[in-house]
Amino acid sequence: MKKLFVLMFVMILLVGTVSAFEFDNVKRYDEDTKTITVRNSFLGIPTTKVADIRLDSPLNNFVGAGYQKVAEFTITNFDDYTDPLKQLELYHAISGDSIQRTIDYKYRTTETIRVNDYKRNCRTDINGTSYCTSEIIGSHQETKTVWKDLDRSVLSKDEVITIGLFTDVQIGDRVEWIPTYYGVEIREWAIWTQSLNTELKGYWNFNEGTGTVAADDTENGNDLNGTNTPGWTTNGLISNATNLTRVNDEYWTNISSSDFYPPFGQAFTVNLWYKPTNVSEFQTLMAKGSSPSADFSRYILRARGDTQLIQFRMVDITSTEQAITSTTLMTSGNWLMITGVYDGGTNMSLWINGTFEGEQSITSFLDVGEQPFRIGRVSRPSPTTPNPVDGAIDEASFWNRSLSQNEIVQVFNLGFGITHTTNFGPDVTLNSPIDNFNTTNTTIEFNASVVDITGNDIVNVSLVLDGIVNETNSSGINNSDYFFTKIVSFDTHNWSYEACNNESRCFIPTVRNFEVSTFIENNITFNATPRETSSQFFEINISTIPAILSVSASLNYNGTQFVSDTSCVGLDCSITNTIDIPLVTEGQFEDKSFFWEISVFDGTSSVSVNSSTSEQNVTRINLEECGVFTTQALNFTAFDEQNLTRIDPFLFNGNFDQWIGGGTVKRQSNFTNSSIDEVTLCISPDDENYFIDATIEYDEAENTTDIYTLRNYYFQNDTINSTSQDVQLFLLRSSSATSFILKVQDDSLLPVPGVLIEINRFYPGTNEFRVVQIAKADDLGKSVGFFETEIVDYKFFITRNNSILLETGLQKVIPETSPFTLTFNIGEPLGEPWKTQDVITNLLSNLTFNESSLIVTYVYIDTSNDLGLARLFVIRESLTNASANIILCNENSTLSSATLTCNVSTTTGFYTASSFITRFDIEELDLQITFSIETLSNIVGLLGLFFGWFLILIASFMFRFNVVAGIWSITSTVFLINLMGFISFGSVFVTAVVGTAIILTWIMER
């Protein structure tokens, strides 16, 4: 017995501990107040109260589409509680299927805002027209109700909090929400139903067809009264419509209701259908005035006669009209659906035929005096310009909320419109394919669930494909899935269902889109936030259909095309590009869009399709004088080269190119300072390594004594970053400076352009070299340097893109022969005068001279993929003076295969033709031939004349041995010289010489 008492005592002590758990919580529901009371329990017996949860919204809460508050409840918490709002399950209220939605928990609170007070100033001109302005005269505080995000992790003891559930409501929603709060499941609550009737304050279908009263089809009783007997027509959009005549000033008015005069912060939507008879006059379609003394409106829909466009206008507290003008034109005899929306914040928008036309910001409403609500005329009773309507109006409406885009499209109903009803007909839930579905299969199965909860019969269900009723099922089965299978083309399509019941009530849910393509996109890889000039990788992976044989593509980046690399394995293809990001054109950031233009070939034809478009937010890179940017990268100061004293101020002009990637895109910065102590350049962003090229010109400051020689300094493919570099610029006094030509040539004695010549001076006092000048070789491989001659030791570095091509030893610079020149040989020593020519690989070539056409031809095929340039070089050589050689041709091509020719038919002489191949900026000799045209006399010129007479003189020495032998020696020499072409004596002269030799020989023999 004692043990039993002890056990009971311990259990009593544990009651407080058990109350902290949820598994023993119990609930009680009060149907009258819709309140759930949650208590702890012990052995099933309710004990302490944990919380009261009261549902404030209706059990069936009708809401609009879009982001809405679908439920509201108030919690009174009696103890500190961790994670009380654990779970919320959503189900389709008809089918019971589970639904996935994002639910935002928010709590209701208030905040104080300051509101300006205005004074209205009006004046009236001699014509009775009033002009008014508003003047701020002070301000006051107001309390505003707001909803803020809720931290659901802990609710405190004695806390009373009102919570709202917010989500994106879909067209046709009938959703049951079942929460599990404080460990208990609450099935007594509740559903939300999407309904166009939510907050609908007035709807006028104008179906009366006669009389001067247009009834409000809602339960609000906001009827319209006609003035000047408004006309009617049986050719309305749906049944009848009002047909207003401008000359009679016919219009409709509601004077008594304030439902159509929302305050600032209260969202609303106005909508009507309009078919103009006359499009050349200004016409007020719907208006609600906010001033008795001027034509100012809380809102107005009007047609502009000057442009045939539609306007939605509102007036703010400063009497400033905020207007949106359509881009869609109105045309006589055609219906337009016109929708104006204010979102309850600062945005107003205009929609024509369910399509967004524009938006405008508005920050307040003018409120001088409420005026009547009117359709067909301006609101003020005695307006300056009434602007009556000339045309038909139908299905006009006013909502005290902002319609969503989907709801506006639903009201437009493919141009057929809908009318007000409390019986919305069948409920249609589109099942498959999902919205924005992509496939390569042209056979599509469509599926939707159709149910009519009103008990009416389903008459027909139709597939609406690309805006056209494609097929209809009239089986009439309620609460069923309807299937349609179709073969569609490779293209982008849209689809929906239309379901109608026996009450002629039809419903079309929101249209879905899908695309049938020869390929589908699997994924896209890219950097979303690159920096300009950086090299970026882009990749898209696609899967094609089996019929596709090849795929090619190009990347369209911000309007510029780049050929892509494509690699396919089976049906899966990877398309890649690496590009340097283009420059930001304005500001520090810029969005740049890109997509791939993909072409697929099936063996018969090619089809080109664009991929989806993606976007990068590109950041600008900056190299600027420090100020706005503070991360220093370069600091320039000037010094006297001889005594190393500072020169300040000095002149500094610099042109910089900076980049991050491959260098095909560069940002340029220019700096001009005629007199400055030092130049500091800063970078942004500062976590990057930048490459720079720069040309700098520096000298003593302008308007100072001219004692120094202007110099240059260069950067070539150098790197800068957030670690600052101090650059000393040295100037040499003009009185001590001697200029030298700096000549750089390779081992073929050809000029080497574009290299930097770094001049280092040795300072014995500090035992160091300092860079006193950097020169850059021009296209002839030459530049100019300034030196202190004969006494100073210098050392030279020849570099290209930070690679050292030549490092010299220590030397003095001595002027010898003018013009003074320092020559630097790059490459291997010349060595022997002859060496074996290296064979150029991956090259087929031929160099020939045609003796008939006198044309030199160079044919080549380069298969290395590294060709930079092919060149044919032909010169006519002088045998006596190399400097007198004449360049006849210097033809080149960058193609991988080409034929280069040189026509030498207009000249004569001795020729050398050479062909060269350039790869990786290195030019190599390929082939070389020599040939001559015409006689040796033409080739050797005056030198041939000398040789000819010299040979005749030698032949005359034969007279010393025999006279006859001397005669024939001279005769034969003349004949040979004429034959060889050294001297052109002519046939007459040669014949005369031979004849004379015969006669003299005959005489001598006698």
DSSP one-letter string for 197-239: TTTEEEEE-----SSSEE--SSTT---EEEES--EEES--SSS
Q: Is the pLDDT of residue 154 over 90?
A: no
Q: Which of 983, 509, 383 is nearest to 993 (CA)?
A: 983
Q: Is the pLDDT of residue 271 over 60?
A: yes
Buried/exposed 682-694: b ≥16 CB within 10 Å, e otherwise: bbbeeebebbbbb
Task: Count CA atoms closer than 13 A to 906's CA, side-chain side.
Answer: 4
- Rounded CA-CA distance 707/735 in Å is 7
Over residues 697-702, the mean pLDDT reads 93
Map out the domains of the chain as residue ranges.
Answer: 16-194, 200-415, 427-516, 519-619, 657-826, 843-934, 942-1005
Q: Which of 830, 877, 861, 855 is nearest to 926 (CA)?
A: 861
According to DSSP, the β-strands at 283-289 and 373-375 are antiparallel
What pLDDT shows up at residue 331?
96
User: Cis ω on the peptide bond leading into residue 819 (within 30° of 0)?
Assistant: yes
What pLDDT shows up at residue 137?
76
Residues ≥6 apart with Cβ < 8 Å to 753 = 777, 778, 779, 780, 781
Over residues 78-85, the mean pLDDT reads 90
- Tokens 């042109």 sit at which residue? 655
Q: Is the pLDDT of residue 255 over 70?
A: yes
H-run or E-run covering 543: strand 535-544
Which of 66-75, 256-265, 536-545, 938-947 is predicted least confidently?
938-947
Q: Is the pLDDT of residue 216 over 50?
A: yes
What pLDDT shows up at residue 416?
86
- Rounded CA-CA distance 394/396 in Å is 6
What pLDDT shows up at residue 456?
83
Over residues 289-294, the mean pLDDT reads 79
Measured in whole angstroms, how far is the alpha carbon of residue 102 from the centre of its chain? 31
Six-digit token string for 630: 């503070």
Q: Output the CA–CA distances (angstroms, integers) from residue 408 to 414, 512, 748, 810, 842, in the order listed.
A: 11, 15, 79, 85, 68
Over residues 337-357, the mean pLDDT reads 96
Q: Which contacts (CB < 8 Å, 24+ apart) does range 359-364 have?
A: 359/324, 360/322, 360/323, 360/324, 361/322, 362/314, 362/316, 362/322, 363/316, 364/264, 364/316, 364/317, 364/318
Q: Which of 618, 409, 436, 414 is nearest to 514 (CA)?
A: 436
Are residues 201 and 271 in contact, defined by beta-carbon separation less than 8 angstroms? Answer: no
Over residues 846-867, the mean pLDDT reads 91
| Rg, the chain, Cα only | 48
Q: Which of 499, 369, 353, 476 is nearest to 426 (CA)?
A: 499
- Rounded CA-CA distance 848/843 in Å is 16
According to DSSP, the β-strands at 427-432 and 213-214 are unpaired
What pLDDT shows up at residue 629?
95
- Across the chain, how many H-helices and E-strands are there? 7, 73
Q: How does pLDDT run across 954-995, given as a tens digit for each residue? A: 777 776 677 777 778 778 887 777 777 667 677 777 788 788
Can you name the CATH fold of 843-934? Immunoglobulin-like (2.60.40)
What is the DSSP secondary structure assignment for residue 246, as one 8-state letter? G
Q: Which amino acid does the sequence have at 453?
A: I
Q: Is the pLDDT of residue 684 over 70?
A: yes
What pLDDT shows up at residue 624?
96
H-run or E-run covering 515: strand 512-516
- Rounded CA-CA distance 377/368 in Å is 20
> Is residue 933 very low, low, confident or very high in pLDDT (cuts 50, 70, 90)?
confident
> Is residue 931 very low, low, confident or very high in pLDDT (cuts 50, 70, 90)?
confident
Q: Do domains 200-415 and 657-826 have the same CATH topology?
A: no
Q: Is the pLDDT of residue 433 over 50?
A: yes
What pLDDT shows up at residue 18?
38
- Residue 9 has phi, psi (to 5 degrees) of -65, -45
Q: Output the CA–CA distances (angstroms, integers) from residue 105 to 37, 73, 171, in the order listed.
A: 21, 11, 22
What pLDDT shows up at residue 547?
87
Per DSSP (E only), the strands in 878-956 are: 886-893, 897-903, 909-919, 922-933
Q: Taking the domain 519-619, which CATH number applies?
A: 2.60.40.10
Please give the residue that has the higher pLDDT: either 148 or 954: 148
Are residues 431 and 444 in contact, defined by beta-carbon separation less than 8 angstroms? Answer: no
Q: What percent of the chain has pLDDT over 90?
A: 62
Q: Is the pLDDT of residue 373 over 90?
A: yes
> Rounded to the nearest 10 degrees, how much is the dihedral formed by the CA atoms of 639, 644, 647, 652?
0
Query: How is the chain split among helix, strand and coil, in percent rounded to 5?
Result: 10, 55, 40
Are residues 314 and 331 in contact, defined by beta-carbon separation less than 8 angstroms? Answer: no
Can you name the CATH fold of 200-415? Jelly Rolls (2.60.120)
- Name residue 99's beta-bridge partners: 90
Q: Taking the domain 427-516, which CATH number applies?
A: 2.60.40.10
Are residues 454 and 423 in contact, defined by beta-carbon separation less than 8 angstroms? Answer: yes
Six-digit token string for 611: 């991929």
* Average pLDDT, rounded, for the chain: 88
Measured in whole angstroms, how far is the alpha carbon of residue 864 from the centre of its chain? 36
Q: Is the pLDDT of residue 768 over 80?
A: yes
- Rounded CA-CA distance 577/592 in Å is 16
- Tokens 């002890």 sit at which residue? 6
Six-digit token string for 920: 């990786």
What pLDDT shows up at residue 246?
93
Q: Is the pLDDT of residue 880 over 70?
A: no
- Name residue 847's beta-bridge partners: 858
Q: How does pLDDT run across 112-127, given as a tens digit for each residue? A: 877 777 666 666 666 5
Q: How does pLDDT run across 611-642, given as a tens digit for each residue? A: 999 999 999 999 999 999 999 999 999 999 99
DSSP one-letter string for 688-705: S-EEEEEEEEEEEPTTS-
What pLDDT shows up at residue 965?
75
Are residues 64 and 195 in contact, defined by beta-carbon separation less than 8 angstroms? Answer: yes
Within 10 A of 674 (CB to CB), how many other CB atoms are there? 13
What pLDDT shows up at residue 6?
41
What pLDDT shows up at residue 939?
54
Q: Which of 690, 648, 699, 652 is nearest to 671 (CA)?
A: 652
According to DSSP, the β-strands at 297-304 and 283-289 are antiparallel
Six-digit token string for 613: 């478009």
Q: Which of 724, 655, 649, 647 is nearest to 690 (CA)?
A: 724
Over residues 160-173, the mean pLDDT reads 92
Over residues 258-279, the mean pLDDT reads 94
Which pTM does this prediction carry? 0.50
Q: Taking the domain 657-826, which CATH number applies?
A: 2.60.40.1120
Over residues 179-186, the mean pLDDT reads 93
Q: Which of 404, 400, 434, 431 is nearest to 199 (CA)?
A: 400
> Is residue 608 very low, low, confident or very high in pLDDT (cuts 50, 70, 90)?
confident
What pLDDT shows up at residue 702?
87
Measured in whole angstroms, how far is the alpha carbon of residue 220 from the centre of its chain? 51
Over residues 221-232, the mean pLDDT reads 95
Q: Is the pLDDT of residue 770 over 80?
A: yes
Q: Is the pLDDT of residue 496 over 90?
A: yes
> Is residue 831 very low, low, confident or very high in pLDDT (cuts 50, 70, 90)?
very low
What pLDDT shows up at residue 874?
93
- Rounded CA-CA distance 421/200 in Å is 11
Q: Which amino acid does the sequence have at 792?
A: V
Task: Count CA atoms closer than 13 A to 936's CA, side-chain side.
Answer: 15
User: Cis ω on the peptide bond leading into residue 433 (within 30° of 0)?
Assistant: yes
Over residues 258-271, the mean pLDDT reads 93
What pLDDT shows up at residue 981?
66
Q: Is the pLDDT of residue 21 over 60?
A: no
Q: Is the pLDDT of residue 603 over 90?
A: no
